[in-house]
Structure 1
Amino acid sequence: MTLGKTAVRVVNLGRISYGQALQVQQKHVRQHLDKTSDVPNTLLLCEHHPVYTIGIRQAPYPPEEEERLKGLGAEFFRTNRGGLITFHGPGIHCGRYITSHGIALNCNTEMNWFDNIVPCGIVGKGVTSLSLELSRDVTAAEATPYLLESFSKRFNCHVLPEREVL
């Protein structure tokens, strides 16, 4: 480990439902807030089954719209993050100096899921994926090492796969 850098434990949850991932995330937030806990900073990695999430600004999304989106085969969650509807995990939620982030890195996502919403409530802007941008299939497994390297540089930390945590 590099001296002077904070260690961040990386836990890869694999493909998991949004609801299950949210429970795991909330457990880690509670442990981090617990003054008696020695749980290190943690970065959770996961892939979700198709899911739409909506933040606290939910006025334009009545229950009928929720049912329509569920009818497409996706899960639907109302969350405590800011913002409007999107097609990825939780958005940013801050409290007591802890930030729980949801990062959407579209690797080889079926982009037609976004055709059913105005992503993040931003009219006239589209979304893309690494596969579309690179004109080849890019899996999450392929992108993860690059994500972790960038995370480590940006946040000046040392990422530790779960098996390396003492």
Structure 2
Amino acid sequence: MSLRQKPTARGKGLAPPTKSCVVGRSWAVSINGCRLWRQVPNGSRTLCRKREADTGGPSLPVPAQSLPQGRGPGPLAGAAAGRLAERSGARRGRRPAAPPPQAAGWRVRPRPARRAAAAAEREAPGRAMPAGGAAAAGRAVALLRAGRVPFAAAQAAQERCVRLQRALPAGAAPAGRLLLWEPAGPVFTAGLRGGAAPGEERRLRALGAGFERLRRGGLLTFHGPGQLVAFPVLDLRRFGLPLRAHVDALLRLAAAACRALGLPRARALPPPRTGLWLGDRKLCALGVHCGSHITSHGLALNCCTDLTWFDHIVPCGLEGTKMTSLSQELQRHVSVEEATEPFLAAFQDVFKCTLITVPEDSEVPP
């Protein structure tokens, strides 16, 4: 015990303290009358952020047994403690701290209860939600259906979309553009992390496929006929999304489209397994780029793709990865056209937007 006075009984018969103190597991008020301390099992002292009022309550300390678990004490400052606080403030040249009006009967709410109350407030009906919530349901995204085009044409269309989106004034429509297309021929692409060893490009080109190095995340992968490729060009500021949340939204989008097509078990796996998986088989590849809050590139969903092309590479740098497609998993032919409508419905649901069709020739070069 660190006081000069000694209690006659625990928590009782103690004169008003002249310094902050702890008696066993009891509470004590500091000399300025604005801090409460309690002793924790390891012997350290924890500050309870609680102002007190001169309510004429009991003098301190108060036995810890009378305090609810996880709560600080109520308005425990007595008249003596209040006078000590005033004298202390006068000696230090400070104005005594005024007690808050709600001090009488005020209690510290436990942390779990505060979290639950905050969650209930966020979900309360009629509350204005942040960007990305239900209040953003009227956000417009231009939809470009390019159809089956060469990779170079789709890449040029994406770059044009990015330029147009960056040139828009703040708040102007549309909030983004969604470019949907199907590769007209086989092509291997490498991301910013590489994945193609020296001489790898020549070997892959010798197979009759194209080869492109792109400014996107990820490693080496394949694009070809039978793939639904989506390039969302979105202003993340308009959607209230950080880049990591945008990637998660793309994965939820692909999973929702697969559920609508009859594959409810498709899901994302922890790193380094990127994309969408069915067990140990990869169904959808993902790689994005973001500059000045504008995204590009996106995902490729295997619908009826010739999966033998993947045998020539290590897909996404994951040794032993088995690739699959919607047709292989559903044991029937699933075309890109069949997968497009569920994909678009899932896109509007995940990104809380409205898709507006744009004529192909206005964005996609020949």
TM-score (norm 1): 0.88
Aligned to 2:339: 143
Amino acid at match of 2:337: A
Contact 2:141 2:177 in 1 (8 A): yes
Alignment equivalent of 2:153, drawn from 20, 23, 26 = 20
Aligned to 1:96: 292
RMSD: 2.1
Q: For residues 61-76 of structure 1, what are the structure 2 equivalents within 5 Å?
A: 61-62=197-198, 64-76=199-211
Amino acid at match of 2:206: G
The number of equivalent residue pairs is: 161
Aligned to 1:55: 191
| CA shift digits 1:115-147 (9 cap, x unpaired) | 001111112222211000100000001110000
- Kindly tell me: are residues 9 and 59 of structure 1, through their superposed partners in 2, closer, same or farther at Cα, counting changes over 3 Å? closer
Q: For residues 119-130 of structure 1, what are the structure 2 equivalents within 5 Å?
A: 119-130=315-326
Contact 2:136 2:353 in 1 (8 A): no
Could you list the runs of 5+ residues in structure 1 that have no partner in the other structure? none
Matched, 1:110 2:246: no
TM-score (norm 2): 0.41
Contact 1:31 1:39 in 2 (8 A): no
- Provide the C-alpha distance between the structure 2 equivalents of 1:138 and 1:67, rounded to a whole number of angstroms: 33
Aligned to 1:44: 179
Q: Secondary structure at 1:101's aligned position in 2? A: strand
Q: Secondary structure at 1:103's aligned position in 2? A: strand
| Shift of residue 5, structure 1, vs aligned partner | 2.2
Contact 1:52 1:74 in 2 (8 A): yes
Aligned to 2:104: none
Aligned to 2:283: none
| Shift of residue 56, structure 1, vs aligned partner | 1.7
| CA shift digits 1:48-85 (9 cap, x unpaired) | 121100012226521x2101111111110011112210
- Kindly tell me: are residues 101 and 59 of structure 1, through their superposed partners in 2, closer, same or farther at Cα, counting changes over 3 Å? closer
- Provide the C-alpha distance between the structure 2 equivalents of 1:92 and 1:120, rounded to a whole number of angstroms: 13
Task: Return the structure number with greater relative CO, CA threshold 8 A, min gap 6.
Answer: 1
Contact 1:92 1:99 in 2 (8 A): yes
| Shift of residue 18, structure 1, vs aligned partner | 1.1
Could you list the runs of 5+ residues in structure 2 that have no partner in the other structure? 1-134, 224-228, 232-286, 360-366
| CA shift digits 1:24-65 (9 cap, x unpaired) | 100110111114596622100001121100012226521x21
- Provide the C-alpha distance between the structure 1 equivalents of 2:136 and 2:192, rounded to a whole number of angstroms: 41
Which 10-residue stretch deviates more, 50-59 or 126-135?
Answer: 50-59
Q: Secondary structure at 2:290's aligned position in 1? A: strand
Alignment equivalent of 1:86, drawn from 221, 224, 227 = 221
Larger Rg: 2
Q: Secondary structure at 1:92's aligned position in 2? A: strand
Structure number with higher helix proportion: 1
Which 10-residue stretch deviates more, 97-106 or 136-145?
Answer: 97-106
- Provide the C-alpha distance between the structure 1 equivalents of 2:202 and 2:349, rounded to a whole number of angstroms: 42
Q: Secondary structure at 1:136's aligned position in 2? A: coil
| CA shift digits 1:68-107 (9 cap, x unpaired) | 1111111100111122101136830111101113311111
Matched, 1:161 2:357: yes
Identity value in percent: 45
